[in-house]
């Protein structure tokens, strides 16, 4: 596996939530039954700690969560190209204390015991969709889960064609 460190720069608008990001996340609306949760801590671009609020897949204690259907470049160990940018964007979208919404699919945990969830930020944007659209994440199918897989695959295809983020630099 080839790992590139320190390549690229954040995509245009990655440091702010401009109209492109707000309008860009429309394929995956927040489901009516999505659980509310609070952001407790960031780990990296696709892993964080949330505390569930009310009924749903997350308990009311801090729980390590992996964003379902995506994979962001690594920042621990040998840093991968666009890893720091992906982590920074996730932290920007999901500040500590932010109220978010989550939804579980068929298999609620990955092989490392992390809860697998689709996640929406305070503005109702799919975090997975934003990260893939901006070229900060790749689609990763963790079967049998397939919620949003088709939509995210289409978003990734567009990001690749337009050479956004890691698709233009790594």
Contacts of 27 (CB under 8 A, 6+ apart): 126, 129, 148, 151, 154, 155
Tell me which of 74, 85, 129, 156 is the catalytic residue.
Answer: 74
Q: Where are the alpha helices (DSSP H) in the chain?
A: 19-24, 83-93, 127-133, 149-161, 166-169
Tell me which of 66, 101, 133, 164 is the catalytic residue.
Answer: 66
Tell me which of 89, 101, 114, 133 is the catalytic residue.
Answer: 114
Using DSSP, state whether 170 is helix, strand or coil. Answer: coil
Contacts of 16 (CB under 8 A, 6+ apart): none
> Does the active-site annotation cover 66?
yes
**Nearest CA among 130, 140, 164, 156 for reference residue 66:** 140
> Does the active-site annotation cover 74?
yes
Q: Residue for token digits 């049998």? A: 144
Using the Cα atoms of residue 66, residue 62, residue 126 and residue 165 in order, give the sign of their dihedral.
negative
> Catalytic positions, please?
66, 74, 114
């Amino acid at each position: 596996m080839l790992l590139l460190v320190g390549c690229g720069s954040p995509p245009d608008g990655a440091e702010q939530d401009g109209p492109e990001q707000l309008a860009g996340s429309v394929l995956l609306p927040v489901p009516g039954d999505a659980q509310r949760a609070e952001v407790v801590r960031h780990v990296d671009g696709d892993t964080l700690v949330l505390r569930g609020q009310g009924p749903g897949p997350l308990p009311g204690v801090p729980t390590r969560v992996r964003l379902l259907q995506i994979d962001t470049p690594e920042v621990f160990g040998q840093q991968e190209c666009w890893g720091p940018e992906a982590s920074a964007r996730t932290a920007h979208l999901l500040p500590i204390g932010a109220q978010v919404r989550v939804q579980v699919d068929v298999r609620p945990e990955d092989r490392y015991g992390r809860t697998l969830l689709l996640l929406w930020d305070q503005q109702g944007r799919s975090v997975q969709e934003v990260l893939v659209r901006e070229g900060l994440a790749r689609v990763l199918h963790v079967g049998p889960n397939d919620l949003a897989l088709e939509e995210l695959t289409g978003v990734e295809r567009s990001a690749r064609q337009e050479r956004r983020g890691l698709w233009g630099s790594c």
